[in-house]
Structure 1
């Protein structure tokens, strides 16, 4: 019942002008920062490990800014689910999509590197409005929200959602069929299938899937970043130039290259990375857990 009430509230919120909705999101984020002790702790630990040069007060302010933009992304997701295509076209600006279009029209498999920034779903919607893609989907424990997320991600075009439990060859086949794969490889999924490579100078368990999938599919890697713009100006989705000399013969070097690129992107908008995730929960043998 509570889930359905939450969905009904989100539906009502999507009618609000974006500046009003953004203020509501900022307020929700501020409240979460002050009340969510556990998640606040995770964010502060992540920021301490990644930005040791900052003073404690600077990291605390950055954490608050993160919760605010996270709150915005949660409420503004209602726009992605219910706002008209015309309204979304005004709110979602895409630059560089010609890089992607050129590859797709040439029949080249494409692997989109899309790190976990809080505007990620908006970027996915913007790309889906332009291309039929594939993406990997994690089933949600709440059935109401699971159905809502599925419907939202399949709202535009002919989108293919793949379960994490499906074999790798399914993703490879999707790319070879002409669907860019919207791929999120930058979370700690545990020791299995991960390798340790630096992330902000800290060894981080990282799935080397970007390198391996690119090799298996003969795919070109194209980076994609989504930025929530200030002053409720909408979202900017930037599709970068295709990566050259990737993959190499060294999977670890490829994965380190990916993390270094993500670091650079984070430094351009540090409050918008998904810091509430325990990025360093899996440690090399003998190292203490930081959380």
Structure 2
């Protein structure tokens, strides 16, 4: 059954990549709209997350954001098929603007390791393809349960000469060695870690268990951090890529302040395009002692 599911998903992704760009977006938006209108678990997770992160937003406005978010998540799914399967140069035509390229270049020019920090906002797959064409990073990822889909994604993610590291002990140790040798790593820093690997710091005004891994890699400027995101343009024609330098606190010895700086860098872009964040993720699953669970 797992093989069949995997084959079906891979087939769908390849089908999406054959369609015109506007059709790809329309199908993604339809998938998201159905997730909004039907009593799905995804819709409820989005509602819970937005209710806590935007408590001062009136209910009607927040419900519209629920719908926009689910439609944008649907688009990200179908658009990512194009990032994976199209020839890279064709996919790169979707990049309409790049902001802060000098930040990335300055980091690479130091000769020290570079940690590219992103989150589940916008189209991170296109973003990873783009940076892989520039600096061949090691990309940290969580293997998917469907082996056929995981195999395809790994193959597509390394086609530009970069490499991937699974989020296992061996993969993480290998990534650390790469950064220490002056290499480049790409990390999505927003998945919730184990309690022993994170601290609770604010994210959109809510205490969120956040990994200490990125601050540990760059502590004391042993490596240079660069925030990066690919945000969908309002007209749907493509994306705006943003590279930003982190606050100095990210490099400091105060662990909580460093992790808070990590969240603040991600939060800045989430607030700029809130509907493009993957609110279906149970980002706040673990709660501080004494606080009730959300999900």
Alignment root-mean-square deviation, CA: 1.9
Instruction: State the alpha-carbon separation in 2 of the partners of residues 95 and 115 from structure 1.
Output: 17
- The answer to whether the aligner puts 1:102 opposite 2:106 as a matched pair is yes
- The answer to whether the aligner puts 1:81 opposite 2:84 as a matched pair is yes
Alignment check: 8 A CA contact 1:222 1:243 kept: no
Instruction: State the alpha-carbon separation in 2 of the partners of residues 243 and 227 from structure 1.
Output: 21
- Structure 2 counterpart of 1:9: 12
Instruction: State the alpha-carbon separation in 2 of the partners of residues 192 and 267 from structure 1.
Output: 28
**Cα pair distance change 1:116/1:6, threshold 3 Å:** closer
- The answer to whether the aligner puts 1:208 opposite 2:212 as a matched pair is yes
Alignment check: 8 A CA contact 1:109 1:219 kept: yes
**Range moving further from structure 2, 57-66 or 193-202:** 193-202
- How many residues are paired up? 290
Instruction: State the alpha-carbon separation in 2 of the partners of residues 22 and 228 from structure 1.
Output: 11
- The answer to whether the aligner puts 1:152 opposite 2:156 as a matched pair is yes
- Structure 2 counterpart of 1:229: 233
- The answer to whether the aligner puts 1:123 opposite 2:127 as a matched pair is yes
Instruction: State the alpha-carbon separation in 2 of the partners of residues 209 and 191 from structure 1.
Output: 13
Alignment check: 8 A CA contact 1:135 1:182 kept: yes
- Structure 2 counterpart of 1:194: 198
Instruction: State the alpha-carbon separation in 2 of the partners of residues 202 and 241 from structure 1.
Output: 23
Instruction: State the alpha-carbon separation in 2 of the partners of residues 242 and 88 from structure 1.
Output: 28
Runs of 4+ displaced beyond 3 Å = 241-246
Please report how far the alpha carbon of residue 242 of structure 1 lies from its aligned counterpart in structure 2 after TM superposition: 5.6
Instruction: State the alpha-carbon separation in 2 of the partners of residues 246 and 281 from structure 1.
Output: 24
TM-score by length of structure 2 reads 0.91
Unaligned runs of at least 5 residues, structure 2:
none
- The answer to whether the aligner puts 1:59 opposite 2:69 as a matched pair is no
Unaligned runs of at least 5 residues, structure 1:
none
Please report how far the alpha carbon of residue 216 of structure 1 lies from its aligned counterpart in structure 2 after TM superposition: 7.8
- The answer to whether the aligner puts 1:285 opposite 2:289 as a matched pair is yes
TM-score by length of structure 1 reads 0.92
